[in-house]
Amino acid sequence: MSNDPLETASQCRHYAMCKIDYLETGLCPSGPEKHYVAYYPQGRMDIYAALKRNLIPLTEGLIDIADTCTLCRICDKQCHFATGLRPLSVMKALKAEVEALKESGHSIHQPPQDEVLEELRQIVGPACATNDPAILITYANDPFPLKEMQMPRFVVLPASTAEVSFIVKLARRKGVPTVVRGNGGSVYGMVFTDGIVIDTTRMKDIRIDADNWTATVGAGVTSFDLQREASRLGFRVNAAEPAATVCGNIICTGLFSTWSASYGTFSDNFIDMEFVDDEGRVTHLSDPASPNLYAYQHRVMTPPAICTRAIVPLYPISNDEESLLVPFTNFEDAVRLARELNIRRIGLSIAVLGPHYIATFLSPTLELSQRLKQNLGNVFGIEYAVFVIADSYGRDAVKKMAGSVIDGPLLRKLMLGLPRFLGKDWIDLVRTYEGDHPPYEILCDPAAAPFIEAALQPTPVTAAEAVEEDLRQFYTSLYHKPQYTDGVWLSMHRIVSCRMGRHKHIFAFLVYLPADDIEMFNTLNETFGCTAKELGIDHDFGFITPMDMGKRAVYEYDYYLDQTSAKDKRKAAAVMERIVPWLDDLALTRKGFTWIKTFFSQGCVRKEGFFYEGFSKRTKD
């Protein structure tokens, strides 16, 4: 990774991981106090890049943003864990840049007085609505390759449903467009407008009703914060990206996860939702008079209204849950096992993973993940794996069905001993194996446990050997905490999934399809793979999770693009030209086939509306 501050700043992925305290480091101190994304490391990265490109003037907001960075280094730890970036150099450079502007006697730009802004401030308070360009610029862009920067006129931070309603009525009266934003983690260029960005970050209320098995969450509550709160009380929620807001995630992608194998997706994710519609009226989905958001429409949609609160289901956790990784030498067998488990209702969370995901999730650095990825197949024979979380009965069943498994304790050893696992001595030793079975079977053999222990020396110190010297102490103490090597905790809180975008920004394609259609899975792999190869794009199979008792599945294939490269942007456009008509055609001609273009923003629908053919027939959008 580069040490150049501008290069680092330009690579900020906007996955918002610096807005959640997922490493127990605490948050960037100014963020929770000032609320605007500009006061989090992500915002400061954008601001520095904008300043260097002369896109913003010196403002009071900019001076405050630079001054309130205490150079505490929290962002360096958080961002390194998630993306491998080291933002501290950017923070230092930003402070120096702003200081230099001040010293050179540069005038301070005063944003214009504005009637709409005055009214917004009356609704939310003077500090929570702004038109300062230094703040606006952090709401103007994301790494999505097919969208240009769009500066909003205002950003406003409502704290309640009533405030959202007043803002919507004001915007309607003044004819100003609005967009609602959770944490901007969709990175599909969806949260931009030249009007008002309604940032829900202050709406962070979480109420757990244990007797009712529900949690009521405000629009600004993230998946991570809800999962942490629920698990403190012995519950689990179905949550996906940790920094995504629960409400935004439900609306936008229907919140699918590997846990959807048992907890479902789309309308399974909520009990009730509260909305403010485009006239500022407050509605609840449980009210028979409210618009029917349960019906799937086969066309491109925008969010139906602003969700201000959601009531989501809580799930019990049994005290003997653990993760298992079942290795496979081929794709088809892995898919068949995943489906079979779902048909038999074995396992809570199920996913078919390829070497890219396995390596990425286990490795604290990009370099180590690339080496692991190469060796998983070549050396150990692990071409695919089924990741399962199950109680002890479920795990016994998986072992009976699958034979060799990497169980939770072994997975922990591999994570902690990874630098040695990939050391020459160990790899050379495994290469000498000449049996009839794939080499991973040696690893999985319980008799090999003492030998693995001795060879890998799996300790937090060993794991931390992989990272830069100045971060080793931090990683050592992190790996001393059992949750950071626990497959169940990591999967529930999903703090490693953003590592997929560690080498380049991820551009994901999501498809729902029949889970027994192995031929179609192969066609998807081949077509996505060949298209990427022809266009010279980094690419990889993502994952498959079976759902609805093995009848349907969600499938992900990922392209990786350098968000700063004009060439990669052109490649992304070329991808869309080829892939979109092909997927559109499949969605019209194959039962149970749908892709993200049409389910996006329809997260409240019943999944059955697009899993199965009903009375309404699909037509071309």
CA separation for the pair 226, 235 (Å, rounded) = 10
Nearer to ligand FAD, 8 or 183 (CB): 183
Nearer to ligand FAD, 247 or 532 (CB): 247
Tokens of 180: 């609602």
CA torsion 513→514→515→519, rounded to 10°? -90
Per-residue tokens: 76: 């360096």
By CB under 6 A, residue 210 contacts ligand SF4: no
Label the pairing between strands 384-390 and 349-353. Answer: antiparallel
Give the nearest distance from C-beta 476 to ligand FAD in angstroms. 26
Identity of the residue, 37 or 168, whose beta carbon is nearer to ligand SF4 in the bound complex: 37
The torsion region of residue 241 among left (phi > 0), alpha (psi -120 to 50) and beta comes to beta
Residue range at the interface with ligand SF4 (CB under 6 A); choices 71-79, 410-418, 542-550, 597-605: 71-79
Q: Is 93 helix (H, G, I), strand (E, B) or coil?
A: helix
Comparing CB distances to ligand FAD, the nearer of 257 and 602 is: 257
105 Rama class: left (phi>0) / alpha (psi -120 to 50) / beta: left
CB of 397 to ligand SF4, least distance (A): 46
Asked if 75 interacts with ligand SF4 (CB under 6 A), we say: yes
Does 35 contact ligand FAD by CB under 6 A? no
Residue 256 near ligand FAD by CB under 6 A: yes
CB nearer ligand SF4, residue 73 or residue 153: 73
Binds 514: which of ligand SF4, ligand FAD, none (CB < 5-8 Å by kind): none
- Residue 488's identity, in one-letter code, is V
* CB contact burial 11-40 (16+ within 10 A = b; e otherwise): bbbbbbbbbbbbbebebbebbbebbbbbbb
Cα distance between residue 31 and residue 162, in whole Å: 24
- Confirm or reject binding of residue 44 to ligand SF4 (CB under 6 A): yes
**In angstroms, rounded to a whole number, what is the distance separating the alpha carbons of residues 595 and 25?**
38
Best CA proximity match to 132, nearest among 81, 46, 199, 56: 56
Question: Would you call 579 helix, strand, or coil by DSSP?
Answer: helix
> Using CB under 6 A as the criterion, what x/- string covers residues 580-619 for binding ligand FAD?
---------------------x------------------
By beta carbon distance, the residue nearest ligand FAD is 182
Nearer to ligand FAD, 202 or 412 (CB): 202
Which option in ligand SF4, ligand FAD, none does residue 74 bind, with CB closer than 5 to 8 A by kind?
A: ligand SF4
* Binding test (CB under 6 A) with ligand SF4, winner from 16, 23, 66, 74: 74
The closest of 578, 536, 544, 584 to 560, measured between CA atoms, is 536
**Residue 311 belongs to what H/E stretch?**
strand 306-313
Are the C-beta atoms of 542 and 558 separated by less than 8 Å?
yes
Indicate which of ligand FAD, ligand SF4, none lies near residue 255 (CB less than 5 to 8 Å, by partner kind).
Answer: ligand FAD
Strand ranges across the sheet with 178-181: 129-130, 154-156, 196-199, 178-181
Q: For the CB of residue 92, give the shortest distance to ligand SF4 in the complex, in Å.
A: 9
Closest CB 513 distance from ligand FAD, rounded Å: 16
Can residue 312 be called a binding residue for ligand FAD (CB under 6 A)? no
Nearest distance from residue 19's CB to ligand FAD, in Å? 9
Q: How far is the CB of 290 from ligand FAD (least distance, A)?
A: 15
Judged by CB under 6 A, the chain residues 187 through 216 that form the site for ligand FAD are 187, 190-191, 200
> What letter does residue 152 receive in the DSSP assignment?
-
Task: Kindly tell me which residue out of 138, 165, 183, 545 binds ligand FAD, with binding defined by CB under 6 A.
Answer: 183
Nearer to ligand SF4, 88 or 511 (CB): 88
Cβ nearer to ligand FAD, comparing 183 with 491: 183
Q: Compute the least distance from the CB of residue 91 to ligand SF4, in Å.
A: 4
Task: Report which of 340, 324, 440 is spatially closest to residue 386, judged by C-alpha positions.
Answer: 324
Q: Is 240 near ligand FAD (CB under 6 A)? A: yes
Binding marks (x or -) toward ligand FAD, 471..510, rule CB under 6 A? --------------------------xx-xx----x----
Per CB under 6 A, the list member of 2, 60, 67, 71 interacting with ligand SF4 is 71
Q: How would you class 535 by CB atoms within 10 Å of its CB: exposed for 0-12, middle for 13-18, buried for 19 or more?
A: middle
Given candidates 7, 29, 460, 601, which one binds ligand SF4 under the rule CB under 6 A? 29
User: Which three-class secondary structure state does DSSP give residue 506?
Assistant: strand
Instruction: Tell me how many degrees the CA angle 302-305-310 measures, rounded to the nearest 5.
Output: 115
Stretch that binds ligand SF4, among 73-81, 130-138, 267-275, 334-342 (CB under 6 A): 73-81
91 vs 221 by CB, closer to ligand SF4? 91
Tell me if 255 contacts ligand FAD by CB under 6 A.
Answer: yes
Residue 182 as a binder of ligand FAD (CB under 6 A): the answer is: yes
Among ligand FAD, ligand SF4, none, residue 133 binds (CB under 5-8 Å by kind): none
Q: Is 91 in the site for ligand SF4 (CB under 6 A)?
A: yes
- Rounded to a whole number of angstroms, the minimum distance from the CB of residue 242 to ligand FAD is 9
Residues 6+ apart with CB under 8 A from 343: 549, 550
Instruction: Rounding to the nearest 10 degrees, give the CA dihedral for residues 141, 145, 146, 150.
Output: 10
Q: Please give, one letter per residue, the 3-state secondary structure of 332-387.
A: HHHHHHHHHHHHCCCCCEEEEECHHHHHHHHCCCHHHHHHHHHHHHHCCCCCEEEE
The one among 28, 157, 246, 405 contacting ligand SF4 by CB under 6 A: 28
CB 507 within 8 A of CB 561: yes
Token code pair at residue 503: 């080498």
Site of tokens 């079979």: 340
Residues that bind ligand FAD (CB under 6 A): 15, 179-187, 190-191, 200, 219, 240-241, 244-245, 247-249, 251-253, 255-257, 303, 306-307, 497-498, 500-501, 506, 601
Residues that bind ligand SF4 (CB under 6 A): 28-29, 41, 44, 69-75, 88, 91
